[in-house]
Structure formats: structure tokens, C-alpha cells
Amino acid sequence: MNMDHDMHHMDHDMHHMDHDMNGMDHSQMMNHGGHMMDMGDMKKKFWISLILTIPIILMSPMMGMQLPFQLTFPGSNFIVLILGSILFFYCSTPFFSGAKGEIKNKKPEMMSLITLGISVAYVYSVYSVVANDILNITPKVNDFFWELSTLIVIMLLGHRIEMNSIMNAGSAINKLSKLLPDSAHLISENGDIKDVSTNKLAVGNSILIKSGEQIPADGKIYDGSTSVNESLVTGESRSVNKQTNNDVIGGSINGDGTIKVKISGTGSSGYLSKVKNMVQEAQSSKSKTETAANQVASYLFYAALVVAIIAFVAWSFVRGVSFAIPVTVTVLIIACPHALGLAVPLITSRTTSLAATNGLLIRNKNALDGINDIKYALMDKTGTLTEGKFKVNGYVSLDQNYSDDEIVKIAASVEQNSNHPLANGIAEIAKQKGLSLYEVINDTQITGYGVKGTLNNNDFAVVSAAYLDANNIKYTAQDTQNYLNDGNSVSYVIKDNVAIGFIAEGDSIKKGSKAMVQYLLSQNITPVMLTGDNKDAAAKVASLLGISEFKAQLLPEDKQKNVLSYQKQGKTIFIGDGINDAPSLTQSDIGIAIGSGTDVAIDSADVVLVNSDPNDIVSLVKLAKNSHRKMIQNLWWGAGYNILALPLAAGILGFAGIMLDPMVGAIVMSLSTVIVALNALTLKIK
């Protein structure tokens, strides 16, 4: 593991872009049955429906049951009709559009069930107003405006709660697009250089990339050498040395050198575009996942239709059509999912709230539904299980003329003008020990090996073992073997071609990583490490954490392929932090991003660990399991009463003179809604 000193250099700033952990886009969109719902429009319709529902409740009986607070007067039924019509034709449009999409997909679910209920309630209620107040038919026909208005307002409330707890996953695509610079230095055929818009670059163009600039397109270096920070793109915690004929990736950051590059890929053919396509494809496949609530609603839709048709046909023969119609309508109204509409959103809201207080940002609650079926937890290494920055783990003098601290002082002095992570690590330990640095002159980079400089008229260098090998400088490899075995990178301090000491630095394991791995194992979830880093470093981290399965030196597409492979064996979690993790985060059944990671990773994930502590996954899994259990309970409370209410409303016991009174059905329906709400409030993490 004698790694190049410069191979570990990375930009500590790493473009950790700002991300607001609490901000939510209120113009965001959600897909239901193929129809896109606008959050702002949903909010407006909810408030209008709530305002209109209040007078309807005051003036309209609940399934024929007069309540003490109700107010009726001549013409009040017509006012209720007008208010109900506004509710039906304006406030219900999201449900109609959603139902249209579901029917088009030949998969009626929640939207279809709601549309069926409110349509029957509205049409029959209009008929009741005509029959009672215009034709004066006796006996009076019950209207269902109370049920119509409350169902609409409750369902809109449920969707508002649900949408407020889910952020827009699509923004990951936008963040990827922003990684390329706006302009590039184009080299013309006569050698002139002019700045052009990045989107005007084409394959075969030559471009100049100065030190510190972002690389605007994929290409091959034909002049110059440098080190490139590819950590944002590949996830590897080091800068990579580049020289003539080496490839560079658009979106990565150029180091100290100036290079000329011939473009090999841009736009749709570039590396970032391929990552973007992988994210889009994974998002598309995940959006097709059916939730438990929609499954229950689908069963209810068919059950209500079948029971209603049977009831209509049967009672038409027995008592006539005039008796069969109210029975049929009652069946369809009772199937209205008041409680079901709140069952999942209330759990979603409670789960999101509990998660936020425990350092978890849940962006897609639906993804957590399958937590009990998770078999594999796939995870990135650098920045996820490890800190992603280098720390001095040891320093030793090899020359009796210099103390151990003097070796640190010399190394920090030589590298004091460098911003490489290894240099930063050495500077940090020197600062901690209160060492005052020497003034350095003539400090220059030794390309591919390290840095040299002059201190008090003596020439020193801080370099890798490869430099010693290349220049036949003697050293004893055994001196550093223990540090190398622990996954450290070793830098030698040399004077006059003699190694006088060394400093070992490593990427330390995060405090919560081991506890997280042990918990996953206790839950029969197999942890698997997938990393772009080298096999030695991966093996060491895996060994320390107790991870038996790991795969190293992976590209982003390799990671996603591994996710797909494991998904064939069981449901997966993926935990990561880099742009290279975005496709895997999206592809997995549950994607978990580290909060200190890139915006693209965060926007691709279902859950964000705000505190960047891997051990927070323990809280997440516990919360998700409890949330799933509560959701199943709520679905039973929300829809379970229909198992009895539907056949009773249809008159299955009519032969014995027992018919379900609509008022009883309304009371039971209201009770189930209250129970669902109370059950959601008892959700806890432990």
C-alpha cells in the first residue's frame, strides 16, 4: 500500500454545496395515477373546500341524521346545492385527474375510489334536492352533501400532509447539470484562445483548463500535467495525477497545473450526462412502486362496485328499483375512504416530525414502507463510513539529530503553502502541538511525488515512498509497515537525499459506523461495502467494521449494477454521499444520503442523515419499522370496517329484517377516522 503522496491529494472544500435541510419547495409536484399535482393549487383548493364545508355541515344532515347544531331554513337546501357544486366541480379536480390516470393505466386505486364516492354522493344529492324541494316527492330522499364535503376536505388535507412531508426528488437532475462551468477556454486552429459557452463545445474541440478551474467536458490531455480532484464525481478521496494522454472527466476540478485537452465527450455523451440518465431511469422505476394504501384502495374500489351491483340487482327483483337505488348509493357512500385517506398521511407526518428531531430528513416516506423486507444494506466507504479527510496517525524520526516533533515541524513548514489534504493534516497536527513554522522559500511541487522547499538554507522534501524508490534513496520499509497495514498513507521527510523521518496519515472511521453495522447484522440485514477506493484500504475498513462482503475500485455504473444485482436477491438500502452514489441512491429501495455529502447525492436520496452520523441509521430503521406497523394498523382501522359495513349496507341480512342504517354507518365511519388519528399520535422511535 505504498501509495503516491499526490494520489491522496483532494480539495477539502469539495464543493460541499449549501443545502437547506428544512426547506421544502411548495410549488413541488407529486404524481398520482399518472397525473401531476401542484402543491400550491392543492393548498388553495384545500382552504376553499374547508371554508365551503363548514356551512354545509351546519345546514346538511349526516346520512339523514339531524344533529343538534344544524340550521335549516327555506332555501337552505339550494344554498347547500350551490356550495356542494363548487366543491364537486372545482375542489375535486385533482381526484378526477388522478382517477383518469389510474383508469388509463387500468389500475384503479385511491383516486378512483374517491372519485366514485364523491360522484355518487353528488349526483344522488342533486336528485334529492330536485325530489324534495321541486317535485315535493314523499317520503323525502336523503342527500349526501355532508359526506361529499367532508370526504373532499379530508382527502385534500391528507394529500397536503403527505406532500408537505416529501421533497422534490427531481432536483438531483438539476444539480448534476450545474456541475459543469458556464464557459470554457476554446483553443482555435491557429492557437488563439477565446471564452465560449460550455454548451457550444463539441467533440474534437481543444480547450485550455487553468489551475483551480472546473473541467467543462470529458477529454484527453495532449499538453501539460496536473493533479485532478475527481472526488465529487468518482467519490475517491484523493487527487489523481494526470499527464499527456490521460483522460479527464467533466465536472472534476483541475489542480495546480495548466493543461490542454481534446474533448471526447460533451452534452449527451459526457460522463455526467450518463450519471444523469442513470438517476432518471432509477427514479422512473422507483415511481412505479405500489404503496400499501393504494393496494387497499384498489381492493375497496372493486369490492364496493361488486357489492353495489349485486345489491342493486338483488333488491330490484325483491323490492323494486326505487328501493334498490338508495341501498346501492348507501353502499358506495359507505365505501368512501374518509379514514383511509388520513391513515397513511397522518403516519407520514408523525414519522417525518419524529425523524427531524432525531437528525433524519425523510424525503420519500413511501420508500420506507418496505423496511421489514430489507435484506442488504449497501454502503459507500469514503465520507460515509469514514470521515473523508486525512488525519495524522503517527510520525517518527529516523535520524537522531531530529526529534519526532521536529519532523512534523519541517514537514508542515515545507507544505505550509499547499492546500492538499495530506498537507492540511500535517498543518493541523503542527497547530495542535503549538509548533512555530520555519519560513519556506523556493517551495515547489514535485509532480506525482510531493513538495520540496528550502528552510534555513537547507533543502527538504516531503514525498512518497515512490520518490525514494525512483531516486534510489535508502529506507527500511519495515519501519512503516504497521501504519501501512492500518490503511495509512506514508509521507517521508528527506534532506540531502536521506530519509530523516516519516508521517503516517489515514482516513479515520466515523464514530457511529461500527455500531450501525452491528445493529444491521442483529436485524439480519447484510452490510456490503461498495467503494471506488483501492482494495487494500477497502479491506482494512471492512475488517475493522466487521463487514464480510465488500467490492472495491468501482465506477458509479458498477455500483448501480451491484445494487441491481443485490435487488434480485432481496430489497436493498444504499448509503452514500457522492455524485457517483446518486444512481445507486435512486436505484435502491431506500436511498440514504450523508448530510455532509453533495447536493446531488442528497437530492437523489429518500432519507438524509442531517448529522452525517452513520449510527442514525439505527434510529431510522427502528422508526421505519414502527411506522410500518402503525400504518398497517391504520389501514385496517381505515378500511377494515368496510368488511362488515359494505355487506350490511347491501342488505345481506335483509331476510332477517336487518338493514344497516346509514346513520350507524356514518357513526362507525367517523369513529374509525378518530381512531386512525389517535393511533398515529402514539408512534415512537423506540
Reported as a single tens digit per residue, the pLDDT across 526-547 is 999 998 766 767 888 899 899 9
Sign (positive or negative) of CA dihedral 653, 654, 657, 662? positive
* pLDDT(666) > 80: no
Burial classification of residue 657, based on how many CB atoms lie within 10 Å of its CB (0-12 exposed, 13-18 middle, 19 or more buried): exposed
* pLDDT(363) > 90: no
Q: What is the pLDDT of residue 534?
A: 60
Question: In terms of Cα–Cα distance, which of 566, 597, 564, 567 is closest to 582?
Answer: 597
Phi, psi of 461 (to 5 degrees): -145, 150
205-219, 232-246, 289-303, 346-360: which has the minimum mean pLDDT?
232-246
DSSP notation for 51-110? HHHHHHHHHS-BTTB--TT----TTHHHHHHHHHHHIIIIITHHHHHHHHHHHHTT---H
* pLDDT(522) > 90: yes
What distance in Å separates the CA atoms of residue 145 and residue 153, rounded to the nearest whole number? 12
The answer to whether the beta carbons of residues 237 and 10 sit under 8 Å apart is: yes
Q: What is the pLDDT of residue 552?
A: 84
Residue with cell 524508490: 469
Sign (positive or negative) of CA dihedral 434, 438, 441, 444? negative
| 625-628 own/partner pairs: CB under 8 Å, 24+ apart | 625/371, 625/372, 626/683, 626/684, 626/685, 627/347, 627/350, 627/351, 627/365, 627/368, 627/371, 627/683, 628/368, 628/369, 628/371, 628/372
DSSP structural state of residue 486: T
Reported as a single tens digit per residue, the pLDDT across 51-68 is 999 998 888 876 555 656
Higher pLDDT, 229 or 279: 229
Q: What share of the chain is helix, strand, coil (3-state, %, to 5)?
A: 50, 20, 30
For residue 681, give the 3-state DSSP assignment. helix
Beta strand spans in 198-288 (E): 206-209, 218-223, 226-229, 239-242, 247-248, 253-254, 259-265
Question: In terms of Cα–Cα distance, which of 544, 113, 629 is closest to 351?
Answer: 629
Q: What is the pLDDT of residue 602?
A: 67
Peptide bond into 139 cis (omega under 30): yes
CA-derived radius of gyration, the chain: 33
597-633: b or e for each residue (b if 16 or more CB lie within 10 Å)? bbbbbbbbbbbbbbbbbbbbbbbbbbbbbbbbebbbb
Q: How confident is the model at residue 617 (pLDDT cuts 50, 70, 90)?
A: very high
Q: What is the pLDDT of residue 310?
A: 93
Q: How confident is the model at residue 414 (pLDDT cuts 50, 70, 90)?
A: very high
Active site residue 223: no
Q: What is the pLDDT of residue 404?
A: 95
CA 622, 626, 632: angle at the middle one, nearest 5? 150
Q: How confident is the model at residue 403 (pLDDT cuts 50, 70, 90)?
A: very high
Reported as a single tens digit per residue, the pLDDT across 83-132 is 999 999 999 998 898 889 889 888 888 788 888 888 988 998 899 899 88
Residue with cell 496519515: 505
Active-site hit among 380, 507, 577, 603: 380
Reported as a single tens digit per residue, the pLDDT across 473-486 is 988 878 888 887 77
Q: Dihedral, CA atoms, 90, 93, 96, 100, nearest 10 degrees?
A: 140
Phi, psi of 362 (to 5 degrees): -90, 120
Q: What is the pLDDT of residue 277?
A: 62
The answer to whether the beta carbons of residues 610 and 361 sit under 8 Å apart is: yes
